């Protein structure tokens, strides 16, 4: 059976979406992604560079290193929650709605780890 591109509900072979609502949500998502994908990629690159630099600094300036890692992980998590852009194979395997939800959960998990690291940073170094 063919499935709705947004919600994965079963549909006939002549359709792409189960309803207008799913089509509208899909178009909105791709508009939103087109608008913010560069910003999202930019923040990701900064965060992903900051984490290894933080790890390197951690070996001789542990407070600075941990602070840097904590804020990079937190920023990455929050960015993913605000801009939940799943990778292409996630969208094709679980359809858009679920792919967005799973991406948001990953972002929330990262944000939680970030908060934990920030708390650790406060406990150990202040």
Per CB under 5 A, does 7 bind Zn ion?
yes
Strand partners, 103: none
Segment 21 to 80, residues that bind Zn ion, using CB under 5 A? 22
Of the candidate residues 1, 16, 18, 116, the single one contacting Zn ion (CB under 5 A) = 18
Report residue 122 CA to chain centroid gap: 26
Per CB under 5 A, does 91 bind Zn ion?
no
Burial class (CB in 10 A: 0-12, 13-18, 19+), 47: buried
Per CB under 5 A, does 83 bind Zn ion?
no
CB atoms within 10 A of CB 110: 21
Per CB under 5 A, does 6 bind Zn ion?
yes
Residues in contact with Zn ion by the rule CB under 5 A: 4, 6-7, 9, 18, 22
């Amino acid at each position: 059976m063919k499935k709705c591109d947004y919600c994965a509900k079963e549909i006939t072979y002549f359709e792409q979406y189960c309803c207008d609502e799913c089509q509208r949500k899909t178009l909105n998502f791709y508009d939103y992604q087109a608008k913010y994908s560069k910003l999202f990629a930019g923040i990701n690159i900064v965060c992903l560079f900051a984490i290894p630099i933080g790890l390197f600094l951690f070996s001789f300036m542990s407070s600075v290193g941990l602070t840097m890692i904590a804020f990079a992980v937190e920023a990455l998590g929050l960015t993913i929650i605000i801009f939940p852009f799943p990778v292409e194979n996630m969208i094709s395997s679980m359809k858009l709605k679920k792919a967005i939800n799973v991406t948001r959960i990953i972002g929330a998990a990262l944000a939680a780890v970030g908060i934990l690291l920030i708390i650790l940073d406060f406990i150990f170094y202040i």
